[in-house]
Amino acid sequence: MYSMKHNLRATLIMSLFLGTCLWLTEGCQSSKEKKENDSDSTVVAALDSLPAVTLTPAEGDAYTIETDVFSLPFPAQPHHQIDTLQLGDGIQAQSHAYLLDLGSQVFALIYIDYPGKPHPQQIIKEAKTGILSSFYDEPLIRKDSAFEWQGYPAVDLTAGSPKDGLFLHYRLLAVGPRLYQIAISNTDDFLDEEYVQDFFNGFQLKK
């Protein structure tokens, strides 16, 4: 089993996987042992291909992700990874992860298109459960606020554990069957709220 304390990128991906599994409870829990084994091999093994980025972003290093659907500025160029999650009963879902590892901090944008016609509030709720399951100890929840963002349901979630050495700042945004997770993780303490919101609010959906 990998160490979440020393692999924040794996923690961010695993929280996504756990949230997805909770949404498809029957498929993911058909075999507890299979879930434990496959979650590591399917998700974490794919992270081995991610290059470690250790840099201090300087003025002019900012990089903006631009797609036909959204844009988001990062402090520096993130790594883009596409994973196919095996959800059980032959059901698959594709996740896209943009990850920037700065050592003690990881910036991330992860999105997944859920199969079928999921209820937006439900996938947000279960993604939150998956995020909180990332901690070994009961985390301190500093913020858990629901709001609407451009007419879509969203939640800002801040949770951390000094013992785990993990402090997570998440924005969850459900746009139809797609869940966006915008996140910053830190090893030492909660980050300044203005710093976090500057990153979150850089995300824009294109009309």
* Pair of tokens at residue 21: 């599994």
Mean pLDDT of 84-90: 72
* Per-residue confidence (pLDDT) for residue 9, from 0 to 100: 57
Residue 109 clears pLDDT 60, i.e. is over it: yes
CA dist 82 and 94 (Å) reads 7
* Per-residue confidence (pLDDT) for residue 146, from 0 to 100: 96
Q: Which of 110, 118, 79 is nearest to 94 (CA)?
A: 110
* pTM score, whole prediction: 0.77
What tens digit of pLDDT does each residue of 145-190 get?
999 998 999 999 999 999 988 999 999 999 998 999 999 999 999 9
* Per-residue confidence (pLDDT) for residue 139, from 0 to 100: 93
State the average pLDDT for the chain: 76
Q: Which amino acid is residue 108, in one-letter code?
A: A
Residue-wise burial string across 84-110, b where 16 or more C-beta atoms lie within 10 A, e elsewhere: ebbbbeeeebebebbbbbbeebbbbbb
Q: Residue 39 — very low, low, confident or very high, per pLDDT cuts 50/70/90?
A: very low
Determine what percent of the chain is predicted with pLDDT higher than 70. Answer: 70
